[in-house]
Amino acid sequence: MPRDGTTTRTRILDVAERLVIDNGFAATSVDEIIEASGTSKGSFFHHFSSKRDLAGELVQRYADADVAVLRRALAEVETVADPVERVLAFVGFFVDQADQLMTEQSNCLYVAALTERQLVSDGATGPVGRAVEAWRADFASLLDAALAARGRTGEVDSGALADHLFVTFEGAFLLCRSTGDPSHMRAQLTSFRALLAALLRE
Amino acid sequence: MPRDGTTTRTRILDVAERLVIDNGFAATSVDEIIEASGTSKGSFFHHFSSKRDLAGELVQRYADADVAVLRRALAEVETVADPVERVLAFVGFFVDQADQLMTEQSNCLYVAALTERQLVSDGATGPVGRAVEAWRADFASLLDAALAARGRTGEVDSGALADHLFVTFEGAFLLCRSTGDPSHMRAQLTSFRALLAALLRE
């Protein structure tokens, strides 16, 4: 085992992420995280100065992973020559991964973090806003190229339409929770793709 | 003042709803609700057996109000003869009210309730699922009529498309929170309407 503490730190973050996604931030105690990660109070506070500090690190790590998924999806569709097909392939990337995503997690960490005004007002959720901006900028570029190819530049707000992917993800997480049916993630992403296909058809 | 306790009960629910929408369920204590509503522990526990009991009542009341809004929107567009125009007027009803909604509240009570697995697993969020079903059934009827008018029956899943209104609301609440900009609610509902208009154009 490495002696630099990386493993313990990562294990605490992994366990905390799972507990927070399942139960929410306020409902997850430091004691619970310590017990579930098989560590000690001393070790926990060696790595994190407070629960608030842990929250900030969790959100930052989750947002970094989220932006990495965006880059992967963009790389995947880079070679699709037709700009309309590229938009549909980009959303299709997430449709294809929807079932897998919902097997791995029952909610989005963003939902848990944004629910608590305290975390929002003291800046712990700042990385969510920056991830939203990254998604908007890159997806809006794809949409602008597709709208231009159809001679429809300016007919819709491509920034708001790009944000609608974030909206679909977050709303679908809540739809899955409220109905107890994880298949809604795929159905909602599929609906969004069908609506985009209608918007971009010749 | 009425002596039947209705006023105190309603005041506790109103105050709790605002605190929970702002800060989340777990982050809101019974003591805080008692203080903010200017009541007493005795009075609180006369009306609610526990915080869990209050949570259930809050979700039920919020879901009832949500379904009442659905009925109001349906009544509003009932006289629109063309089924495609009726769908667009239905979503337009919510576009028109978006700014007002975001002045009144900073988040959806559903988000706060669904974040906590404990509330989900012990049934307190059951009314959310039933409200989702009511919206789906009624909006899907409007969509089916519009799709039939365009000869596109079966081309899209009208149930999933109807659920997309819930998804847009909930996702947009989170987008507003993560960016600190309440104007996203109107922009997202407008995007959804533009996408439906594209789907339903001749």
Mean pLDDT of B147-162: 96
* A116 contacts on B by Cβ (under 8 Å): 23-24, 27
Closest listed residue to residue A184, CA positions, set A195, A193, A176: A176
Q: Report the distance separating Cα A55 and Cα A119, nearest Å.
A: 8
| Residues B72 and B130 placed together within one structural domain of the fold | yes
Are A183 and A130 contained in the same domain? yes
Instruction: Flag whether pLDDT at A2 surpasses 90.
Output: no
Q: Which domain holds residue B37?
A: 1-48
Q: Is the pLDDT of residue B131 over 80?
A: yes
Classify residue B54: in a domain, yes or no: no
Is there a domain that residue A54 lies in? no
Per-residue pLDDT tens for A144-199? 999 999 999 999 999 999 999 999 999 999 999 999 999 999 999 999 999 999 99
Query: ipTM of the predicted structure?
Result: 0.95
Please give the DSSP secondary-structure letter assigned to residue A4. S
| Domain-embedded: residue A53 | no
B178 within a domain of the structure (yes/no)? yes
The answer to whether residue B163 sits within a structural domain is: yes
In this prediction, residues B153-158 reach a mean pLDDT of 94
Q: Look at residues A164, A87, A148 and name the one whose alpha carbon lies nearest to residue B195.
A: A164
Residue to substitute from B18, B19, B150, B167, interface A, most A β-carbons within 10 A: B167
User: pLDDT tens-digit profile of A92-146?
Assistant: 999 999 999 999 998 999 999 999 888 999 899 999 999 999 999 999 999 999 9
Mean pLDDT of B23-43: 94
Instruction: Clarify whether residues B69 and B3 are in a common domain.
Output: no
B55 is a domain residue: no
Closest by CA to B167, choosing from A186, A143, A157, A137, is A186
Does the structure show a pLDDT above 60 at A1? no
Looking at the complex, report in whole angstroms how far the Cα of residue B5 sits from the nearest Cα belonging to chain A. Answer: 31
Which chain A residues contact residue B84 at CB under 8 A?
Answer: none
Tokens 């109103």 correspond to B14
Residue B4 pLDDT grade (very low, low, confident, very high; cuts 50, 70, 90) = low
Taking the C-alpha atoms of residue A47 and residue A11, their distance in angstroms, rounded to an integer, is 11
Cβ-contact A168, B193 below 8 angstroms: no
**Per-residue pLDDT at B1:** 52
Q: Are residues B34 and B76 in the same domain?
A: no
The contacts found for A73-76 with CB under 8 angstroms, 24 or more apart, are A74/A138
Domain shared by B131 and B180, yes or no: yes
Same domain as B177, residue B97: yes
Residue with the bigger pLDDT between A27 and B145: it is B145
Least Cα separation, residue A41 to chain B (angstroms): 23
| pLDDT for residue B2 | 54
A23 and A104 together in one domain: no
Closest CA to B140 of B154, B128, B129, B126: B154
Last residue of one domain, picked from the residues A48, A70, A85: A48
Contact A190, A95 (CB under 8 A): yes
Q: Cβ–Cβ of B116/A24 closer than 8 Å? A: yes
My answer on whether A98 and A180 are in the same domain is yes
Task: Specify the pLDDT at position A3.
Answer: 58
Q: Length of chain B in residues, anyone?
A: 202
Is residue B53 domain-resident? Answer: no
Across A41-49, average pLDDT? 96
Do B165 and B97 share a structural domain? Answer: yes
The answer to whether the beta carbons of residues A110 and A170 sit under 8 Å apart is yes
- The domain spanning residue B113 has which CATH number? 1.10.357.10
Helix (H, G, I), strand (E, B) or coil at A158: helix
- Rg (Cα) of chain B, in Å, rounded? 19
- Do both B106 and B37 map to the same domain? no
A120's tokens: 């929002």
Residue B144 inside a domain? The answer is yes
Chain position carrying tokens 């918007």: A199
**SS3 per residue for chain B:** CCCCCHHHHHHHHHHHHHHHHHHCCCCCCHHHHHHHCCCCHHHHHHHCCCHHHHHHHHHHHHHHHHHHHHHHHHHHHCCCCCHHHHHHHHHHHHHHHHHHHHHHCCCCHHHHHHHCHHHHHCCCCHHHHHHHHHHHHHHHHHHHHHHHHCCCCCCCCHHHHHHHHHHHHHHHHHHHHHHCCCCHHHHHHHHHHHHHHHHHCC
How many structural domains is chain B composed of? 2
Rounded distance between C-alpha atoms, residue A178 and residue A187, angstroms = 15
Tell me the CATH number at A37: 1.10.10.60
Residues A67, A44 share a domain: no
The Cα of A80 is separated from the nearest Cα of chain B by a number of Å equal to 23
Mean pLDDT of A68-83: 97
In the block, which residue shows the tokens 């570029």? A141
Per-residue pLDDT of B60-89, as tens digits, reads 999 999 999 999 999 999 999 999 999 999
Q: Does A129 touch chain B (CB under 8 A)?
A: yes
Residue whose C-alpha is closest to residue A19's, from B26, B31, B53, B30: B26
- Statement to judge: residues A42 and A79 lie in one domain: no
